[in-house]
Amino acid sequence: MAVPVIAGLGTAQPPGATQDELWSGFFAGHFPDATRALAQRIFANSGVTRRQAAVNPLLEDVSDWPTERRMRRYQVEALPLGKEAVGRALTAAGLDAGDVGMFIVCSCTGYATPGLDILLARDLGMAPHTQRMVVGHMGCYAALPGLGAAGDFVTARQRPALLLCAELTSLHIQPATARLDTQQIVSHALFSDAAVAAVVVPGGRGYALREVTAITDTSTADHMTWDVTDTGFRMGLSPKVPQVLSRHVRGLVDGLLARHGATLSEVGGWAVHPGGPRILDVVERELALPPQALDAARATLDAHGNCSSATVMLILDRLLRAQRPAERILMLAFGPGLTLYAALLDHTP
């Protein structure tokens, strides 16, 4: 039976602005005087130079919008981005929309019914019998369980599956407050918008999806939250998150590699979700990686910020577009739970 293979990727992003432009043009006036100096330091040390926003705060302030208005705007902005990413992925894989057996959409930044899965299936011409799945509110690691579901479908049915991660974090800028809220400053300094699609097929040329695995430390469930409020979705982000990752990441990676007779030294490409610079530093230290191992993750954070579930797929795309792509790639992503997900990919000629 043919193994599931990632045969094509497609990305789409809205217009961007530099971190300096976003700070001076909006956020410098968004935070209260007492916390402005701290906020400026956090923005400057975020590891981000440029970000993309479907709803650009330099042009449109959504911080006081009610959640209903934000959700209506999500559908307007996410649909064309998703269509662009999916179209590019299908073209790269040499398939038509009608070939897709399952369509999986990951997003934690917007909800509506009918959702992106239905509207894109309609607009792109997917078959009426195409199965659909929506992975919602899993946060930054959602791409990997999405890939796992796509791989399981392909293995069981021997038909193509399509994954789309579409995130519009720009819709969730929170209202200004008079008190110090470091967690919101960090969130506003990091997050960005993107859509990335992947086509998974039975066998053929590409990257075989060997396994997707995870571990969740429920004792630290309060360390990362994404609450639905009357003014959009509000991020809770404890500074203890890197400590939790440091306890679990080595065991997760070693176990995954051992099951496939592989070692750390045999991994040539690392697609590690950059929740922030400290997250990458922890992964690099705990896995004893050489400094250049996480170059793709740091470059993605620098150029695009943290795009939630789409980020690890942006890094994968960057790795695959390298002059000499790695034969073996390990993907890592982290999110609420606290949850760590990993996936192992091998190149198939």
Mean pLDDT by 10 residues, the chain (349 residues): 96 98 96 90 96 97 97 97 98 98 98 95 97 96 98 98 98 87 92 98 97 96 94 92 94 98 96 95 96 96 98 98 95 96 95
Query: For the chain, what's the residue count?
Result: 349
Beta bridge partners of 136: 107
Q: Are residues 135 and 281 in the same domain?
A: no
Supply the DSSP symbol for 176: P
How would you classify residue 38: left for phi > 0, otherwise alpha for psi between -120 and 50, otherwise beta? alpha
198 and 229 both lie in a single domain:
no
Considering the domain architecture, whether residues 43 and 163 belong to the same structural domain is answered as yes
Same domain, residue pair 247 and 314? yes
Task: Please indicate, yes or no, whether residues 109 and 17 belong to a single structural domain of this protein.
Answer: yes
Residues 223, 267, single domain; the answer is yes
Give the whole-angstrom CA distance, residue 112 versus residue 114: 6
DSSP state of 140: G
The number of domains in the chain is: 2
Last residue of a domain, one of 183, 202, 221: 202
On whether the CB atoms of residues 82 and 166 are closer than 8 A, the answer is: yes
* The pLDDT of residue 121: 97
**Structure-token match 């075989």, residue found:** 208
CA atoms within 13 A on the CB side of 142: 26
Final residue in a domain of this structure, among 163, 180, 202: 202
Residues 171 and 32 in one domain: yes
Question: Checking DSSP bridges between strand 161-168 and strand 193-202, what pairing results, if any?
Answer: antiparallel
User: In this predicted structure, what is the pLDDT of residue 16?
Assistant: 96
Residues contacting 3, CB < 8 A, separation 6+:
155, 202, 203, 208, 209, 210, 348
Using DSSP bridges, classify how beta strands 4-12 and 193-202 pair: parallel, antiparallel or unpaired: antiparallel
173, 57 contact by CB (below 8 A): yes
- Tokens 């070693």 belong to residue: 254
Q: Are residues 24 and 42 in the same domain?
A: yes
Residues 14 and 158 in one domain: yes
Three-state secondary-structure class, residue 110: coil
Q: In this structure, which amino acid lies at residue 291?
A: P
What's the CATH number where 195 sits? 3.40.47.10
Q: Which of 140, 170, 202 is the last residue of a domain?
A: 202
Please give the Cα distance from 132 to 147 (Å, whole number): 14
Q: Give the pLDDT of residue 1.
A: 82
- Distance CA(27)–CA(185), nearest Å, equals 9
Structure tokens given for 325: 């792509």
Q: Which domain holds residue 34?
A: 4-202
Co-location of 239 and 121 in the same domain? no
Query: Is 241 within 8 Å of 224 (Cβ atoms)?
Result: yes
User: Residue 263 carries which DSSP code?
Assistant: -
- Would you call 328 exposed, middle or buried from its count of C-beta atoms within 10 A (0-12, 13-18, 19+)? middle
Rounded Cα distance between 1 and 174, Å, is 49
Among left, alpha and beta (phi > 0; psi -120 to 50; other), residue 125 is left
- Which of 90, 92, 121 lies closest to 105, judged by CA? 121
Sign of CA dihedral 58, 142, 257, 282: positive
Taking the C-alpha atoms of residue 51 and residue 181, their distance in angstroms, rounded to an integer, is 22
Tell whether 113 and 175 lie within a shared domain: yes
Q: Tell me what pLDDT residue 69 has.
A: 97
Tell me the C-alpha distance between 347 and 65, whole Å: 46
Pair 219, 120 in one domain: no
Alpha-carbon distance of 219 to 258, in angstroms, equals 27
Provide the mean pLDDT of the chain. Answer: 96
Residue among 172, 168, 167 at smallest CA distance from 61? 172
**289, 288, 242, 267: which is closest to 342 by C-alpha?**
267
Active site residues: 140
